[in-house]
Amino acid sequence: MREVARELRCPVCQNLSVADSPSELAQEMRGVIRERLRAGQTPEEIKAYFVAKYGDWILLSPRPGGIGWLVWVGPFAGAAAGLLVAGFAIRRWSRRRRDAAPGAADPALLERACREALEKEEPPPGAMPRSPLETERVQLYAALRELEFDYRAGKLSAEDHAEMRRDLGARAATVLAALKSAPPIPAPEPGSSSAGASAPPVRRRRTWRLAAGAVFLLAFGVALAVFLSASLRPRMEGMGSPTGDFLTGTGPGGISPDSAGTMAQMETGRPGDEAAGAMPGPILAQIQEYRARLAGNPRDVAALLGMAGLNFQRQNLKEAIDYYKRVLDIDPGNSEALASIGLILGGAGYVDPALSAFDRVLAQNPNDPLALWSKGWILYEKKQDYAGAIQAWEKLLATSRLAPEDMDQVASLLIEARKKLAAPAGAAPAPVPPAAPSGSR
């Protein structure tokens, strides 16, 4: 079964096979595969069935035929072409190296170069225009003269001198040979335009190259700007990274990153229930549903609270506060909105406004679980008022029916708080928040 599933693409995922995808559709497709295998169909027949429904798209490895043929052959063709180009390039380099190798030089020319270098006194540079080859010859001659001078001054050993002389001489000989075979502009007439005539093509070519490069860069930039901006879709508000905080578990201080937890807590007023799975898909659907409801009725308190909760859980604190404020505009005493705003404010360091928000909720309902929990947490975390935290949490445990996991978490926090209360304030280092913020609910 897995063999077939592994070769099929999951239609609702990105680059996952039906075998690897956890999505509901992939599960159902695996069910279809299992049924068909049991009914005696071959893997090929089953794949053909899915291709008939979803097209070639469904196959993870494209068929060797048609456009798929390109995908199969393309990489090999590309690699072969690359190897060929590399081969040619290497051959060209090695040939150039060989041309310059000393062995290739004509011994007569070599001798002449060494002789001339010592005899000939060069006209001062700039006195007459030179072709590039001439310039190179003059430089090599100068180097040879210097070598002789160094040798005579005793700075070089005989072997070094001989080797370097052979080397430089060979290069000079090559240049001489080139000069002889193509005497460029034989008579450098002083003041003539010969230098000017040889320069423009080079310069023009360079300008051309620059222009082509600039045009290419410009086109590349424009293409990038146009296509990238056309292809990027704005992320859904409240949906940061589709995996990010879900995988890393970085929720707001004390708030479970688990969407189900937050939602459950928002709806029932009790701290998070981590039983239900948090998949981005349902969250997205949830957001869309709230949007749709708010579009129909902007004063839909449940939808506003839902949006706020999702934003809170996604750390979009500003949006969360905005939604909670809209709730308070409609229902000024809404305990969930008040307590949540308090929790956000407290988490951001505004401890006193937070505590007064909790107290407002508790004045209406002294047993409000969210307010009790939040008050305890802010007292514990921000004020290091362990006695106050213990009092709030004990009341929470005594008055509210919590899910077993939540009960355990509150209980373990209570133990921590009691420990901290018992330890002398000076001896204890800076208060360490309980294990993980996500587990602290």
Partner 1 sequence: MWKKLLVPFGIIVPIVALLAFGFTREAREIPSPIIGKQAPAFTLTLFDGGTVRLEELRGKVVFLNFWASWCPPCRAEARMLEAAWQAYKDRDVVFVGANIQDQDANAREFLKEFGVTYPNGVDRGSRIAIDYGVWGLPETFIIDRNGRITYKHVGGIGWPILTTRLDEALQGVASAAEGKGDYRSIR
Please report whether residue 230 would count as binding partner 1 according to CB under 8 A: yes
> CB-wise, 189 or 267, nearer to partner 1?
267
> Among 88-96, 221-229, 247-255, 300-308, which window interacts with partner 1 (CB under 8 A)?
221-229
> CB-wise, 56 or 111, nearer to partner 1?
56
C-alpha–C-alpha distance, residues 28 and 309, integer Å:
32
> CB-wise, 24 or 146, nearer to partner 1?
24
Q: Counting every residue, how long is the chain?
A: 441
Instruction: Classify each residue of 225-247 as buried b or exposed e, where b means 16 or more C-beta atoms within 10 Å of its C-beta.
Output: eeeeeeeeeeeeebeeebeebbe
Q: Which of 29, 114, 354, 357 binds partner 1 (CB under 8 A)?
A: 29
Q: Which of 145, 166, 291, 360 binds partner 1 (CB under 8 A)?
A: 291
Please report whether residue 143 would count as binding partner 1 according to CB under 8 A: no
Q: Which of 3, 20, 28, 329 binds partner 1 (CB under 8 A)?
A: 28
Q: Which of 101, 104, 199, 285 binds partner 1 (CB under 8 A)?
A: 285
C-alpha–C-alpha distance, residues 221 and 218, integer Å:
5
Measured from the CB of residue 291, what is the shortest distance to partner 1 in angstroms? 7
> CB-wise, 8 or 339, nearer to partner 1?
8
Q: Which of 69, 93, 149, 227 binds partner 1 (CB under 8 A)?
A: 227
C-alpha–C-alpha distance, residues 95 and 89, integer Å:
10
CA atoms 92, 97, 100, 101: torsion sign: negative
**Nearest by Cα to 373 from 262, 219, 259, 233:** 262
* Count of Cβ atoms closer than 10 Å to residue 8 Cβ: 23
Q: Which of 102, 242, 253, 282 binds partner 1 (CB under 8 A)?
A: 282
Range 179-218, binding partner 1 (CB under 8 A): 205, 208-209, 212-213, 216
- Region of 334 (left: φ > 0; alpha: ψ -120 to 50; beta: rest) is beta
**Nearest by Cα to 239 from 296, 337, 293, 319:** 319
Please report whether residue 55 would count as binding partner 1 according to CB under 8 A: yes
Instruction: Classify each residue of 187-218 as buried b or exposed e, where b means 16 or more C-beta atoms within 10 Å of its C-beta.
Output: eeeeeeebeeeeeeeeeeeeeeeeeeeeeeee
Please report whether residue 51 would count as binding partner 1 according to CB under 8 A: yes
CA 329 to centroid of chain Cα atoms: 42
> Among 53-61, 237-245, 318-326, 360-368, which window interacts with partner 1 (CB under 8 A)?
53-61
Question: Could you write out the DSSP letters of every residue in 205-268?
Answer: HHHHHHHHHHHHHHHHHHHHHHHHHHHPPPPPTT---SSHHHHH---STT--S-HHHHHHHHHH
Measured from the CB of residue 240, what is the shortest distance to partner 1 in angstroms? 19
Measured from the CB of residue 48, what is the shortest distance to partner 1 in angstroms? 12
Distances (CA, A) of 276 to 251, 260, 392, 402: 17, 6, 27, 16
Query: Residues near 171 by Cβ (< 8 Å), separated by ≥ 6?
Result: 100, 102, 105, 140
Measured from the CB of residue 77, what is the shortest distance to partner 1 in angstroms? 13
305, 327 contact by CB (below 8 A): yes
Q: Which of 288, 297, 356, 364 binds partner 1 (CB under 8 A)?
A: 288
Please report whether residue 62 would count as binding partner 1 according to CB under 8 A: no
Distances (CA, A) of 351 to 18, 177, 358: 50, 89, 11
Measured from the CB of residue 55, what is the shortest distance to partner 1 in angstroms? 4
Please report whether residue 276 would count as binding partner 1 according to CB under 8 A: no
> CB-wise, 11 or 388, nearer to partner 1?
11
**Nearest by Cα to 364 from 332, 397, 340, 395:** 332
Please report whether residue 223 would count as binding partner 1 according to CB under 8 A: yes
Q: How many residues contact partner 1, by CB under 8 A?
A: 39
C-alpha–C-alpha distance, residues 416 and 254, integer Å:
15
> CB-wise, 17 or 384, nearer to partner 1?
17
Q: Which of 67, 158, 228, 427 binds partner 1 (CB under 8 A)?
A: 228
Measured from the CB of residue 47, what is the shortest distance to partner 1 in angstroms? 14
Six-digit token string for 88 = 């040619």
Please report whether residue 57 would count as binding partner 1 according to CB under 8 A: yes
> Among 220-228, 249-257, 327-335, 401-409, which window interacts with partner 1 (CB under 8 A)?
220-228
Measured from the CB of residue 287, what is the shortest distance to partner 1 in angstroms? 9
Range 8-27, binding partner 1 (CB under 8 A): 11-12, 14, 23-25
Residues in contact with partner 1 by the rule CB under 8 A:
11-12, 14, 23-25, 28-29, 31-32, 51-55, 57-58, 205, 208-209, 212-213, 216, 220, 223, 227-228, 230-231, 279, 281-282, 284-286, 288-289, 291-292
